[in-house]
Structure 1
């Protein structure tokens, strides 16, 4: 009987937490489809009395989110691909070969991710100006790659070290080169880890605001997060437009997570039992 009560209590508590977590999301979705007159007349927390997609049009066209979303994709996709490519190569070398100062390199990469980014804002901004990259998407891509590779290497080398050495030894006997071992054996076996990092890194990069406002200045170069901030200032009391902009900004990361959900969970499970 006590076990049944414990199970029932767990499900009730989990259901309550789920509802509490989903409530703000539902509120934003409902608000984004209401008209401004409806919200002004009945209040933000009232039941909807209208349905319109005009808020999405205003956010997309008048609020500049179309250009901002393109900028975010132009930054996020190349950054994720380049970061994981460089990190997988470095992790392959550090995990499969006895390199000098291997542990030191890993600790330096991990230690770099422990530095608060706030103390590096001014140096990074000045460095991009010296290199002539300030206020360009290339600067933002470079910053995101530089600050992300260390963490990705640290994670990937742990996965790659768990791959049995006999597989690599058999490939060497068959005459495979290090590049062939990396491309045809290690990378396919590390797919769950790469998928998990892909989902995480895309979310981090796409949702980043700090580095965007540090190395960018022109509104036409700003990503979706900075555009959402400007949208809030432009449409101060038009909560339907702000909510619609939030939905647009959140949609790509939700799509990426759903696409890689199976691989993401597999990557977490593999890391848990390694």
Structure 2
């Protein structure tokens, strides 16, 4: 029996790294455009943070686009106490948390019915939900104001004994306006889930509720996280409906607290910048906590189906 020597390894000089694909000019332009867009969104926030760290006398003398002589955090403490931010934060949580939860629950159940159940006219229903998002809310201000003043509520639920000037009224208007968008997104996402999963559960005798709650909804966690981030941001930043549908100053959300930092004859814009940063901070925290799920929800919905 003859033994053959193993084949010699190729010399190190003949090994070449894999060639990189050429960089296309359009890709460079795309990255430059995205960088400019990101810079345009971040620049106002960076300028607000920069102004909030400088005394107003310094910026009035040197201008906002100048090197600082003094850096201080005093404005943040002053804005926290003068604007009564803890009280308004609580008002916002009373409105936003139930609004987000109710919107996602109703939208997910409706989307499940459209995507998984054989409902006549379900495509038309989805188009109606989508078309509702195209209606500008400003055209409904007058009829909604009149309607809210005419709907009675018990005194324990509203001091005005009507839907006007109540937390419930503000929650309902947020749910109504965000419901259609959430149904549209979740219905399209649920269609990417293989139907064999729900069909197998149906063969095993699972009810509609079990197929929705125990089977479909856990698979929708990425899109639920993405919508939670968007809905929290939109409801948190809303000021229009609170201004129109509320009259009690102590019930207004945190976005209205910035009015407490404006003087009658003089406004310290550095103090106002510090208050704006404090008001925007919760949305940044929520996005930072859910940004992975937010991106995952967007990419999953875009690459399947």
Q: TM-score, normalised by structure 1?
A: 0.90
Deviation at 1:271, TM superposition (A): 2.1
What SS does structure 1 have at the residue aligned with 2:42?
Answer: helix
Q: Which has the larger radius of gyration?
A: 2
Contact 2:82 2:260 in 1 (8 A): no
Q: Distance in 2 between matches of 1:147 and 1:17?
A: 28
Q: 2:208 aligned with 1:188, yes or no?
A: no
Distance 1:21 1:46 in 2: 21
Tell me the C-alpha RMSD between the 2 structures: 2.4
- Distance in 1 (CA, whole Å) between partners of 2:30 and 2:102 is 43
Q: Which has the higher contact order (CA 8 A, sep 6+)?
A: 1
* Aligned counterpart in structure 2 of residue 162 of structure 1, from 192, 201, 204: 192
Alignment of 1:109-120 (within 5 A): 109-120=129-140
Partner of 1:219: 249
Match of 2:233 among 197, 203, 221: 203
Matches within 5 A, 1:23-62: 23-62=43-82
8 Å Cα contact 1:92-1:157 kept in structure 2:
yes
- Count of aligned pairs: 274
C-alpha displacement of 1:45: 2.5
Gaps of 5+ in 1: none
Rounded Cα–Cα distance in structure 2 between residues aligned with 1:7 and 1:165: 38
CA distance in 2, matches of 1:244, 1:219: 21
- Do the aligned partners of residues 158 and 61 (structure 1) sit closer, same or farther apart at CA in structure 2, a change above 3 Å counting? same
CA contact (8 A) 1:34 1:50 kept: yes
Stretches of 4+ aligned residues off by more than 6 angstroms: 4-10
Partner of 2:258: 228
The alpha-carbon deviation at position 22 of structure 1 amounts to: 3.0
Residue equivalent to 2:114: 94
Asked if 1 retains the 8 angstrom alpha-carbon contact of 2:82 and 2:261, the reply is no
Q: Do structure 1's residue 270 and structure 2's residue 300 form an aligned pair?
A: yes
**Residues 259 and 128 (structure 1), Cα distance of their counterparts in 2 relative to 1, 3 Å cut:** same
Distance 2:116 2:301 in 1: 18
Cα distance in 2 between the residues matched to 1:195 and 1:39: 41
In structure 2, runs of 5+ residues without a counterpart are: 1-20, 152-161
Contact 1:139 1:215 in 2 (8 A): yes
Shift in alpha-carbon separation, 1:266–1:60, aligned structure 2, 3 A: same
C-alpha distance 165-10 of structure 1, shift in aligned 2 (>3 A): closer
Question: Relative to 1, partners in 2 of residues 1:32 and 1:152: Cα closer, same or farther, differing over 3 Å?
Answer: same
